Structure 1
Amino acid sequence: MCGFTDARTSELTALVKLISDSVAILTSEYAKAGHPPSALDSTALDPFFFPELVSEQLKTAIKITEAACAKLSATVTSAGHVVTNLVEPVCVRVVLDARITDHLLDKPKGLHVDELGRLSNQDQGKLGRVLRTLATNHSTRTAWIVVPNVFANNRLSMKLLSTDPVSSLARQMQVRHILLPFTLTFYLRTDEGLKCGAILGDVFKDPTTRKSYSQEDCAFHRARGVSAFDYYGAVRFPIAFFTDDKYSVSIPWVHGHAFNAHPTVYPWGSLPAGSIVVDVGGGNGHATLNLLKAFPSLKIIVQDTPAVSVQGREYPIVISEKKVDFIGFDFLAESPVTNGTIYYVRRHSHDWADKDCLKILKNVRKSAGPGSRFLISLNLCKTVFLPLTSRLIGTYPLLPNYGAANKRHYQQDMNMMIQFNSKERTVISTNSIE
Structure 2
Amino acid sequence: MNSATKITGELRDLLSLIVDSAGVAERCVSHREGLPDGQPMDPELRSSIYVIEAACAQLCSLIARPSGSLVNKFLAFYEPACIQVALANKIPDILQESPSGVHISELERRTGVDAGKLGRVLRLLAAKHVFQEVSADTFANNRLSSHLVSSNPLSSFGLHMTDECFKAASSLSDILNDPALTASISPTDAAFAKHFDVNGNLFDYYAGSSIEQVDRATRFGPGMIGWGDAIEANAVIHDFPWDQLLQGTIVCDVGGGVGNISIQLAKSYPSLRVVLQDRPRQLKIAEEKTWPELCPKAISEHRVEFITLDFFQESPKQNCDIYYVRFSSDFKP
The two structures have a TM-score, normalised by structure 2, of 0.89
Could you tell me which amino acid in structure 2 is paired with residue 192 of structure 1?
A: E
Higher helix proportion (structure 1 or 2): 2
1:204 aligns with one of 163, 176, 184? 176
Structure 1 residue 48, shift from structure 2 partner: 5.2
SS across alignment from 2:260: coil
1:50 aligned residue: 39
Structure 1 residue 231, shift from structure 2 partner: 1.5
Give me the whole-angstrom Cα distance separating, in 2, the residues matched to 1:136 and 1:34: 27
Structure 1 residue 127, shift from structure 2 partner: 0.8
1:115 aligned residue: 106
Give me the whole-angstrom Cα distance separating, in 2, the residues matched to 1:304 and 1:108: 40
Residues 293-304 of structure 1 aligned to structure 2 (within 5 Å): 293-304=267-278
1:271 aligns with one of 241, 245, 250? 245
Contact 1:50 1:258 in 2 (8 A): no
Q: Percent identity?
A: 37
- Pick closer, same or farther for the CA change 1:245–1:9 going to 2, 3 Å: same
The higher-RCO structure (CA 8 Å, 6+ apart) is 1
1:319 aligned residue: 299
Structure 1 residue 172, shift from structure 2 partner: 1.6
- Pick closer, same or farther for the CA change 1:327–1:220 going to 2, 3 Å: same
Give me the whole-angstrom Cα distance separating, in 1, the residues matched to 2:136 and 2:312: 57
Could you tell me which amino acid in structure 1 is paired with residue 141 of structure 2?
A: N
Gaps of 5+ in 2: none
1:155 aligns with one of 143, 164, 177? 143
1:62 aligns with one of 24, 35, 49? 49
2:332 aligns with one of 417, 421, 424? 421
1:130 aligns with one of 118, 121, 124? 121
- Pick closer, same or farther for the CA change 1:30–1:346 going to 2, 3 Å: closer
User: Residues 104-148 of structure 1: CA distance to partner in whole angstroms, max 9, x if unpaired?
Assistant: 1143321221122112121111111111111222222113xxx31
Could you tell me which amino acid in structure 1 is paired with residue 323 of structure 2?
A: Y
Give me the whole-angstrom Cα distance separating, in 2, the residues matched to 1:333 and 1:25: 48
Structure 1 residue 47, shift from structure 2 partner: 4.0
Give me the whole-angstrom Cα distance separating, in 1, the residues matched to 2:110 and 2:287: 36
- Pick closer, same or farther for the CA change 1:34–1:133 going to 2, 3 Å: closer
Contact 1:22 1:65 in 2 (8 A): yes
Equivalent pairs counted in the alignment come to 319
1:242 aligned residue: 218
SS across alignment from 2:261: coil
Give me the whole-angstrom Cα distance separating, in 2, the residues matched to 1:132 and 1:335: 49
Contact 1:262 1:291 in 2 (8 A): no
Structure 1 residue 265, shift from structure 2 partner: 4.1
- Pick closer, same or farther for the CA change 1:329–1:228 going to 2, 3 Å: closer
1:410 aligned residue: none
Give me the whole-angstrom Cα distance separating, in 2, the residues matched to 1:153 and 1:119: 16
Gaps of 5+ in 1: 36-45, 174-189, 353-419, 423-434
- Pick closer, same or farther for the CA change 1:168–1:122 going to 2, 3 Å: same
2:84 aligned residue: 93
Give me the whole-angstrom Cα distance separating, in 2, the residues matched to 1:250 and 1:280: 18
1:192 aligned residue: 164
User: Residues 370-403 of structure 1: CA distance to partner in whole angstroms, max 9, x if unpaired?
Assistant: xxxxxxxxxxxxxxxxxxxxxxxxxxxxxxxxxx
Contact 2:222 2:258 in 1 (8 A): no
Contact 1:168 1:246 in 2 (8 A): yes
SS across alignment from 2:314: coil
Contact 1:286 1:312 in 2 (8 A): no
Structure 1 residue 103, shift from structure 2 partner: 1.0
1:19 aligned residue: 18
Contact 1:282 1:309 in 2 (8 A): no
Structure 1 residue 267, shift from structure 2 partner: 2.5
Could you tell me which amino acid in structure 1 is paired with residue 247 of structure 2?
A: A
